[in-house]
Structure 1
Amino acid sequence: MKLYTYWRSTTSYRLRIALNLKGIDYESAPVNLVAGAQREAGYAAVNPGLGVPALELEDGRVLTQSMAILDWLEEVQPEPALLPRDPVDRAHVRAAAFGIATDIHPVNNLRVIGRLKAMGHGPDETTAWMNHWMSEGFTAFQSLIRPDTPFCFGETPGLADLCLVPQLYNAHRWGTDLDPFARLTEIEARCLALPAFQAARPEAQPDAQPGATT
């Protein structure tokens, strides 16, 4: 399989973690979002949404949208499980995960920040924008997860952890005040100690750009 990815993309990051956890081999195909490679005709044919990730299966079919791909992965490779078996528990995990995937990430992604800058907002304003929505989202997320488990909802990382760690990467990058979120940073440290998370980290990717500021 081929994963169209970008080293700093949080949506790509969460998918890299899942593939690693489930032991699924893939070829990395970097798409430079900052350079606008996602808008080139060749890639637009792969993913009309002009974003990453996209996962090209061995038979040539392409899946897009990270959360949809994660659902597919859970169906075709159910172990190790990213979701609990109980339907109510599954809904709770999904609610927390989607709090990051649909509430925080969409208003903080590259295209939104680019649009804010095009409307005349400077770097300080766009950074404040991102930090505001991350703080709001983390507050909700922290109240939704379990308070008494090593990871968000259990003894092993699941869907919520896969969404949390990449978003915290952005939070560190942009200077979000994480003092109120000790529970989240403790989970992050446990996750990043695992090989599947380590291999998925942005700086470990083939297209990583040391010292990049954008």
Structure 2
Amino acid sequence: MGEQLLLYSYWRSSAAYRVRIGLNLKGLSYEIVPVHLLRDGGEQHTERYRQANPQGLVPVLQHGQRMFRQSLAILEYVDEIWPEPALMPATARGRQRVRALSQLVACDIHPLNNLRVMRYFENTWHVPQPERDEWTRHWIVEGFSAFEAMLVDHPSTGPFCEGTTPTMADCCLIPQVYNARRFGVDLDAFPSIVRIEQACLALPAFDDARPERQPDAPTT
């Protein structure tokens, strides 16, 4: 499995952020291929990039000559090819819980406030910025309320979402907390989420994946 890994990424993409965390947790070496989601209308819409991902979304993980899409599917692929340290628990019950937490973020929160939704609101419906930001905060709070309830007093919750080591659920949660802070969400109602965020960001794998540490992040 010595083939080169390329990650098509945008510094502030939540989905790419998830995959960066997962690759870092595995200790894998990979090269970032920046895809600027705003420049010239968005490089993700170019014909060349559509060959890598017909959806025109990031991330894409290139492993050798093969292209892998969709962040959760990429993380599970990586976990199968490089099983240690594991991103998924050993038991079926644990894996179901991690997938449920991961999908709560990736399927129910994030799609409602990602860039293409916001651009549609702005360019087609001419929704003003304050209303767009309120939309984003509303759905983050809705999702985090459920996520917090799934963490509190659950016997499997440990320093991380599931147990004593980070899993795919933590890979999904931390980028969404970044978004919450970016949009001014009050996180006081979510102490378990904040506690887990602090535990995760204390690890180099999470710290190195931060948006501001990426090669394509703005310098000013």
TM-score bucket of the superposed structures, by smaller chain: over 0.9
Q: State the distance in 2 between where 1:83 and 1:102 align.
A: 18
Unaligned runs of 5+ in 1: none
Q: Encode CA deviations 1:143-186: one digit per residue, 9 max, x unaligned.
A: 12354511111111111111000000000101011110111111
Counterpart check, 1:88 vs 2:89: no
Match of 1:109 among 87, 106, 114: 114
Number of aligned residue pairs: give it: 210
Query: Structure 2 matches for 1:4-19, cutoff 5 A?
Result: 4-19=8-23
Match of 2:201 among 180, 189, 192: 192
Q: Is the 8 A contact 1:4 1:29 kept in 2?
A: yes
Q: CA deviation at 1:102?
A: 0.1
Q: Is the 8 A contact 1:2 1:29 kept in 2?
A: yes
Q: State the distance in 2 between where 1:52 and 1:163 align.
A: 15
Q: Is the 8 A contact 1:96 1:145 kept in 2?
A: no
Unaligned runs of 5+ in 2: none
Q: CA deviation at 1:210?
A: 4.0
Counterpart check, 1:123 vs 2:129: yes
Q: State the distance in 1 between where 2:196 and 2:107 align.
A: 21
TM value normalised by structure 1: 0.95
Counterpart check, 1:99 vs 2:104: yes
Q: State the distance in 2 between where 1:186 and 1:145 align.
A: 11
Match of 1:175 among 159, 167, 184: 184
Counterpart check, 1:62 vs 2:40: no
Match of 1:32 among 36, 59, 64: 36
Moved over 4 A (4+): none
Q: Secondary structure at the match of 2:190?
A: helix
Q: CA deviation at 1:92?
A: 1.1
Q: Secondary structure at the match of 2:160?
A: coil
Identity percentage over the alignment?
Answer: 49
Q: Is the 8 A contact 1:55 1:63 kept in 2?
A: yes
**Match of 1:20?**
24
Q: Is the 8 A contact 1:3 1:27 kept in 2?
A: yes
Over the aligned positions, Cα root-mean-square deviation in angstroms equals: 1.0
Q: State the distance in 1 between where 2:169 and 2:132 align.
A: 26
